[in-house]
Structure 1
Amino acid sequence: MKKQFIMTLMGPETPGLMRILAEKTHARQGIWLKSKISHLEGQCAGIIKIETDEQQVEALQQELKAVAGLQVVYPVAEDSAPSQSKELQLTIESRDRPGLIKDISNIFDGYDVSVTNLECHRFAVAEIGQSVFKGDFDLMTPADIDLDSLVAELEELDLRVIKNTVDG
């Protein structure tokens, strides 16, 4: 019988790290179902959903955990009831200021929106003499969300909001 588990990892970015993890998974008849790996400032962080034979799970987890320099965690997955939701992608641009992500997150919370992926950058713009924030947000929203109200509330923070994709 097949079993699936999630692995989160963090450690220094080293050449061949993904190859090592993939080889160890393959040696235990495992496959990566989904993965998201990011590198930033010499560090690597990721999350991988793995499937293998039930009798291989513990040995595979121990081998992956033993990779030098890598911190590995296997969060306990809880079954959750499927909810009616849809995916949304927003790009938010603004003059940078302290507390900006907190303010955006508070609005998302008020609409029961979950951030599934966030990539943000701050950079200086000489013409305005200030830093600018740009964030690309992948969101999971309730199916009945009032998208116009969400965007209007975000724009009240003096943000430029671009709706990239709405699924469904």
Structure 2
Amino acid sequence: MKHLVITVIGKDRPGLVETLSETVYQNHGNWLASSLSKLAGQFAGIVQVEVATQYVSLLSRALADIADLQIHIVEDDSKAIPITTLHHLTVTGNDRLGIVKEVTGKLKELGININKLKTDTQSAPNWGYPIFIADFQLELPAELQLDIVQDELEKLADDLNIDIDDN
């Protein structure tokens, strides 16, 4: 069996996820995991699919034939999934340029791998300016303590609220 990681982007319209899932199913693929979103009128996502080796090219061609979607497929060649401890990090603060850059730069400096990242801005009606929220799922090196991560991230800016905990 092969694991494929499929990225998808195209103009959003009703039925895209159904079209993707039907194509995977009709071409002997098993939909394992996904993250799909509508961003600025575009449908964007990433899907992990398991498929027997003999059907990889059939599935790849069928996905490429879906109208108005850009598809990129990569075969996952990792042999085993390492066991890691995951942690959840939430960063909240007044929206401004550079928050993602600052936080991800510090995480890289600490040797932390980002498994997932979801960001959003929300209006703060009582304050009159937007609030930025970032939710991370992190893999920390075994020797790195959570309190060190918390301290280092809090040094980035006074206006950021940093909340990190075990997942």
1:166 and 2:166 aligned = yes
CA gap of 1:32–1:126, structure 2 versus 1, over 3 A, is closer
2:85 partner SS: strand
Gaps of 5+ in 2: none
2:74 partner SS: coil
Deviation at 1:111, TM superposition (A): 1.2
Contact 2:34 2:48 in 1 (8 A): yes
The aligned residue for residue 109 of structure 2 is: 110
The aligned residue for residue 19 of structure 1 is: 18
Name the TM-score, length of structure 2 as normaliser.
0.86
State the identity as a percent: 30
Contact 2:3 2:51 in 1 (8 A): yes
CA gap of 1:114–1:16, structure 2 versus 1, over 3 A, is same
Deviation at 1:95, TM superposition (A): 2.1
Size of the alignment, in residue pairs?
165
1:79 partner SS: coil
Deviation at 1:132, TM superposition (A): 2.3
1:61 partner SS: helix
The aligned residue for residue 142 of structure 2 is: 143
Gaps of 5+ in 1: none
- Root-mean-square deviation over aligned CA pairs: 2.1
2:76 partner SS: coil
Name the TM-score, length of structure 1 as normaliser.
0.86
Deviation at 1:121, TM superposition (A): 2.1
Contact 1:84 1:143 in 2 (8 A): no
Within 5 Å, give how 1:1-168 maps onto structure 2.
2-79=1-78, 85-125=84-124, 127-156=126-155, 157-158=157-158, 159-163=160-164, 165-167=165-167
